[in-house]
Chain A
Amino acid sequence: MEKDQITQNADTSQNVDTSQNVLMLDNVSYRYDGAKKPVLKNLNAAFARGKIYTIVGKSGAGKSTLLSLISGLDVTTGGDILCGEDSLNKIDRDKYRAQNIGVIFQGYNLLTNASAVQNIVLSMNISKSPEKDKKAYAYALLERMGIDRETADRKILKLSGGEQQRVGIARALAHNPEILIADEPTGNLDKETENDILEIFQNLAHTANHCVIIVTHSRRVTSIADVVYGIKDGMLAGYCSHGTGPEKV
């Protein structure tokens, strides 16, 4: 079986317990409606708990497309994405988006007419967060992202790109998802905040045992990755990175 083979691949290539795998790409292909060539061709990969993955590639390589598939916003045109045992093509993807994953979008995708804190509380409501005082929790979370109370109460429209990015990250983390997906999360941040954010990612993966998948151009981000995947010509190539730069597995 294809799936078994992938699992085995992941097993041998990454030397981790397969039971830690939360997400697997099983021969994933994707072609946009009406496009001649597929953007993604037969991708196979495994994503495990407790690790940070980065996906690198040229602009237009299909990184965002892959993330939208992983985050259940779209479905593959070929192959399967498995969350645990279940195919994303078959499960309730609304629930998956609301509870299993947190997504930091490249374009932030915040409700621009609402305040930062309202965005986060709404997201917590949608994911049925058990938190009692959601507002207090949201303020605290934003504080950790470097957003003070006054800024947290301002409409998203009136925030800078960097501030919006931080709110986007806070929202993705608000319901403590087991998989965090981020599309260029540090693009608009200064070095200091970038360090803070990266620390959060590291804690999330290495301490809280979550799976973090980041699309990035930044070497700094890549430097904290446990696994680096590169996309080229619609194909995926795996690298291993432990602070020494990309290294072929």
Chain B
Amino acid sequence: MYILKNAMHNLVRNRGRNLMIGGIVFVIIVSVVTALMINNTAGSVINDYQTRFGSEVRLSPNQQKLQEEARQNSVDGMMRLSVPQIAPEDLIKYGQSDYLQKAVYDVSANADSDDLIAVNADLGPGGGPRMMRMGPDSTGMPSGDSGVPGGGIQYYFRMTNAFDEFLNGTRTLDDAYDTTDFQGRFPDNINECLVSSDLMDASKLSLGDTVTVTSRMRDMSSTPENEIITEINWDLLIVGVYSDLTQTDNDLNNLQSAYEDRRNEILTTFDTITANMNDNPAGIRVNATYYLKDPDQLEAYTAELRNKGLSTVWDVSTDSAAYNRIVKPVVALKGITLTFVIIVLIFGAIILALLASIAIRERKYEIGVLRAMGMKKLKVLSGLWTETLAITLICLILGLGVGTLIAQPVTNILYQQQLAAVEESTVNQFPGPGGPGGMIQGQGRTVSGFMLPGGSSDVQPLQKLDVSLNGLTILEIVAIAILLSSLSGIIATQRITKYEPIKILMERN
């Protein structure tokens, strides 16, 4: 007890020296707290993205194989490169695997209807069959091109099962059309749908009306000489109305067709759109997103897909481009902070060791006096340790506080630098998709006949890294603080065991 009291007295008695040691420990702790906070935050961001993008499987057509195929089929010197489609039932088959955590299907169909008058109908229909034209001098980079000569089929409407916008609030159920016997709701049975309020008004519809919608597609086997058109019809019951805020004024001013206007989207269920696809798959596009339970099982999953009949034209991969784009700056930052921590700790330890050594030398006489009075070595040591620990503890508390305060601004500066560096090196490698609007919505659409290389570049790197102090960081800091104070303690121990009190006192006398 008196050891503790005496240690506290000593802290005050030797303020000058203690302030110097404390100052150095403080600087070390602030630096380490800041760096560790950044490091650990970066670590968890990397982990998060690793599971998100490392496990998201992407099926993309192998461009080389596609071109070879097109060259072989070329008749008039013009290569017609038709992007292969995976049949919806195959996509569903691929989704039934033990390797997968889940499979998400997004389905859409292009449609027309005599019962509906499209919003912005005067812009005319749009969309059309996707054919990729590749000239002989092609760079190999296909571009979405709807203007296929020979008359593509065009549409006013699009059916989809994507309800994501209701989650982020850009679409909401509109109760203005509710009547006493029909209140707007989401579709939960087959052949029920939601339409936009604008489409309701343009077509003069009420809740509970049924509309007939038709999807027409040119069959895969069609040739310009022999057009084969297939058709699917749906009788859809309007069970709800949505208000649409997904488009800005600028978007609306730049619309090329009514088809592009998202207010012409008819929202219905997966089962509704795919109900007849077995007879007539060509009219429907199914996008599937697969999530592996473990990113390392990609190879095994690929083998399973090949077994199930997936053509080698399709590459199976995880979304490494998006992963790299997002994670690279974070990884770089993590590396910097780790190096920083190591350097600070090495130099800090050396400085502290020297200081401890000087301090003990300075206190040799004091130690001699205590020993002469009969204080045991162990007690002298525990007194010194108590002093060091107290200094460390104070610095730890102050350091954690200050470190937490400056960590975010420091992160912002460092992260912006990394972001700029990575953006510069990747911006030309991953051009955005050239496909028409309305085709790719939400995030993580990975499997699609329209997928272009680097197609997930809509996934942007984090613009800001929010650092925070977590339990792990605190634990690490405490461990480092204990280690630092132990270092001084060990040096003190070693010195004290070496000197006998009489020798110390004699030197003095």
Interface residues of A (CB under 8 A from B): 64, 68, 71, 73-74, 94-99, 103, 105-107, 109-114, 118, 122-123, 125-127, 171
Q: A74-B500, A111-B366, A113-B14 given as contacts; is B372 within 8 A of A103 (CB)? A: yes
Judge whether B459 is part of the interface by a CB distance below 8 angstroms: no
B371, B375, B502, B508: the one contacting A107 at CB < 8 Å is B508
Determine whether the beta carbon of B374 is less than 8 Å from that of A73: no
B368 and A109 form a contact (CB under 8 A): yes
- Closest beta carbon of chain B to A155's beta carbon, Å: 8
**B75 contacts the other chain (Cβ, under 8 Å)?**
no
Q: Which one of A110, A113, A171 contacts B13 once the chains associate, using CB atoms below 8 Å?
A: A113
Which listed residue (B368, B374, B500, B506) contacts A97, Cβ 8 A?
B374
The residue of chain B having its C-beta at the shortest distance from the C-beta of A113 within the complex is: B13
Beta-carbon contact of B502 and A74 below 8 Å: yes
**Cα distance A30–B140 in the bound complex, in angstroms:** 98
B370 at the interface (CB under 8 A from A): yes
Question: Do B500 and A98 have beta carbons less than 8 Å apart?
Answer: no
From the candidates A68, A98, A107, A113, name the one contacting B373 in the complex (CB within 8 A): A98
Please determine whether A126 and B505 come into contact, CB atoms closer than 8 angstroms: no
Which chain A residue lies CB-closest to B501? A73
Known A73-B501, A94-B375, A118-B9; judge A126-B370 contact (CB<8 A): yes
Q: How far is the CB of A34 from chain B (nearest CB, A)?
A: 12
Residues of B within 8 A of A127 (CB): 373-374
Of B6, B366, B505, which is within 8 A of A105 by CB? B505
Residues of A within 8 A of B464 (CB): none
Contact of B2 among A64, A68, A125 (CB under 8 A): A125
Chain B residues with Cβ below 8 Å from A111 are 366, 369-370
Which residues of chain A are within 8 angstroms of B372 by Cβ–Cβ distance?
A: 71, 73, 97, 103, 105, 109
Residue contacts A-B, CB under 8 angstroms, 9 given: A71-B372, A74-B502, A94-B376, A109-B369, A113-B10, A122-B370, A122-B373, A126-B370, A126-B375
Return the chain A residue nearest B378 by Cβ. Answer: A94
Q: Contact check: which of A97, A99, A107, A125 meets B509 at CB < 8 Å?
A: A107
Cα(A112)–Cα(B377), bound, Å: 20
> With A73-B505, A105-B505, A107-B505 in contact, do A114 and B375 touch (Cβ < 8 Å)?
no
- Give the number of chain B interface residues (Cβ < 8 Å): 26
Compute how far the CA of A126 lies from the CA of B6 in the bound complex, rounded to whole angstroms. 11
B13 contact set on A, CB distance < 8 A: 113-114
Assembled-state Cα–Cα distance A1/B509 (Å): 38
Contact with A along B42-80 (1 / 0, CB 8 A): 000000000000000000000000000000000000000
- By Cβ-Cβ distance, the 10 closest A-B pairs, closest first, are A98-B374, A97-B374, A73-B502, A125-B2, A107-B509, A113-B13, A74-B502, A94-B376, A126-B375, A109-B369
**Do B376 and A122 touch across chains, with their CB atoms under 8 A apart?**
no
Assembly CA distance A56 to B391 (angstroms): 49
Q: Which residue of A lies closest to B363 (CB)?
A: A113
- By a CB distance below 8 angstroms, the chain B residues around A95 are 374
Residues of chain A within 8 A (CB-CB) of B368 are: 109
Write out the residue numbers on chain A whose beta carbons fall within 8 Å of the beta carbon of B506.
68
Q: Find the residue from B366, B375, B500, B508 having the highest chain A CB count within 10 A.
A: B375
**A41 CB to nearest B CB, Å:** 20
Q: A111-B366, A111-B369 are in contact. List 14 more A-B contacts (CB 8 A).
A: A71-B372, A74-B500, A94-B371, A97-B374, A105-B372, A109-B372, A113-B14, A113-B366, A122-B373, A125-B6, A126-B373, A126-B375, A127-B374, A171-B373
Taken residue by residue from 268 to 300, chain B's Cβ proximity to chain A (1 for < 8 Å, 0 otherwise) reads as 000000000000000000000000000000000
Q: What's the least CB distance linking A127 to chain B, in Å?
A: 6
Query: In angstroms, how far is the closest chain A Cβ from the Cβ of B172?
Result: 74
Q: Chain A residues with Cβ under 8 A from B366's Cβ?
A: 111, 113
In chain B, residues 343-388, which have Cβ atoms closer than 8 Å to a Cβ of chain A? Answer: 365-366, 368-377, 379
The answer to whether B509 and A123 have CB atoms under 8 Å apart is no
Q: Using CB atoms, name the residue of chain B closest to A100.
A: B374
Interchain nearest-CB distance for B386 vs A (Å): 14
Q: List B contacts of A171 (CB < 8 A).
A: 373
Question: Which residues from chain B contact A112 at a C-beta distance below 8 Å?
Answer: 365
Verify A122–B374 contact, CB threshold 8 A.
Answer: no
Nearest Cβ in chain B — how far from A152, in angstroms?
15
Query: Which positions 482-509 of chain B face chain A at CB distance < 8 Å?
Result: 500-502, 505-506, 508-509
Nearest Cβ on chain B to A69's Cβ, whole angstroms: 9
Give the residue name and chain of the A residue nearest to B508 (CB): A107
Query: Nearest CB to that of B5 among chain A residues?
Result: A125
A97 to B369: give the CA distance in the assembly, Å. Answer: 11
Kindly provide the distance from the CB of A119 to the nearest chain B CB, expressed in whole angstroms: 9
Q: How far is the CA of A171 from the CA of B13 in the complex (A)?
A: 20
Contact assessment for A97 and B373 in the assembled complex, using a CB-CB cutoff below 8 Å? yes
Interface string of B9-31 (1 = CB under 8 A from A): 11001100000000000000000
Min C-beta distance of A167 to chain B, whole Å:
12
- Chain B residues near A110: list those with CB within 8 A: 369
A94 to chain B minimum Cβ distance, whole angstroms, is 5
A26–B222 alpha-carbon span in the complex (Å): 123
Chain B, Cβ-Cβ closest to A98: B374
For residue B32, give the distance in angstroms from its CB to the closest CB of chain A: 32
CB distance from A133 to the nearest CB of B (A): 14
List, in ascending order, chain A residues with CB within 8 A of B374's CB. 94-99, 126-127
- Max chain B Cβ within 10 angstroms of own Cβ: one of A112, A114, A122, A127: A122
Q: What residue of chain B has the Cβ atom nearest to residue A118's Cβ? A: B9
Contact with A along B146-182 (1 / 0, CB 8 A): 0000000000000000000000000000000000000
Min CB distance B444 to A, Å, is 68
Q: For A71, A126, A127, A171, which residue has the most chain B Cβ atoms within 10 angstroms? A: A126
Which residue of the partner chain, among B2, B9, B10, B505, contacts A109 with CB atoms under 8 Å?
A: B505
How far is the CB of B361 from the nearest CB of chain A, in Å? 16
Residue of B9, B374, B375, B379 with most chain A CB atoms under a 10 A cut-off: B374
Indicate if the CB atoms of A122 and B6 lie closer than 8 Å: yes
User: How long is the Cα–Cα vector from A80 to B430 in the complex, in angstroms?
Assistant: 90
B-side contacts of A68, CB under 8 Å: 502, 506
Q: Which residues from A are CB-within-8-Å of B508? A: 107, 109
Q: How far is the CA of A109 from the CA of B372 in the complex (A)?
A: 9
Smallest Cβ-Cβ distance to A64: which chain B residue: B509
